[in-house]
Amino acid sequence: MKILFLLLLVVFNFTFAGQVEDRPQEQILKEETKNDNVCYHLNADDINGGMAQQFLNGEITIDNYDGKNNLTVSEIGYFGTSAEYALADLEGDGARELVVVFDPSGDRVIIDVTEGVSTAYYLPIRCYNDIKKDGTASWSASAFYNGIRKIIFSNGQVEFEDIIVHNTYDGIFKVNGKDVSEEECNNALALQREKESVEWIEIE
């Protein structure tokens, strides 16, 4: 009887192991994360449109926002209706971020996933607008003071690197940190406008 029991146990384990090995990796990932905070298990390369919709539906919580943890989009407290999203490698590190834009303000939330931890950043439209595929974007303090910048995510904070500064009020013009003439600055801005913008996808 004991030998029969051991034989049945071996057959059962072999059969079960074979079933697990045959399961697609994508199915295994979904089963492992479906009852947990999905963002804890996501690699930055896993960000996709489905995540955008889940985030907007409140099905995914963000690990970190402004020192607070595990918040849904409603708990973050943005006003307006989500309008569109884009996926882009804003830092140039090979990992995509998720950008969600809200109507009517045009303000946006950027979700960055680093080492499995998701962080949300809120940016007013004037702070980071007309985003290009290389991660550069325009900013504007006024009609006389504006420019182009790159975004940097660091320890739950967002920082910016100024690429172009166009300040006609004070007569300050810079490109890549160097003082230039107003004409040279305008030429750099013209080249920036020719860059390919990120692809925005309307949220249904």
pLDDT for 31-86, tens place per residue? 333 333 333 334 444 455 566 667 767 777 777 777 777 777 667 655 566 678 88
The pLDDT value given to residue 14: 40
Distance (Å, rounded) from C-alpha 184 to C-alpha 189? 9
Q: In this predicted model, which residue has the larger pLDDT, 119 or 67? A: 119
The pLDDT value given to residue 174: 98
Please tell me the least confidently modeled range out of 65-74, 95-104, 114-123: 65-74
Mean pLDDT (whole number) for 128-143: 94
* Phi, psi (rounded to 5 degrees) for 9: -65, -40
The answer for residues whose C-beta is within 8 angstroms of residue 150's C-beta and 6 or more apart is 90, 91, 92, 135, 136, 160, 161, 163
Q: In this predicted model, which residue has the larger pLDDT, 109 or 203? A: 109
Which range has highest mean pLDDT (37-46, 106-115, 172-181, 193-202)? 172-181
The pLDDT value given to residue 78: 59
Q: What percent of the chain has pLDDT over 90?
A: 32
Structure tokens at 201: 């996808």
pTM: 0.70
The pLDDT value given to residue 114: 76
53: enclosing H helix or E strand: helix 49-56
Mean pLDDT (whole number) for 16-34: 36
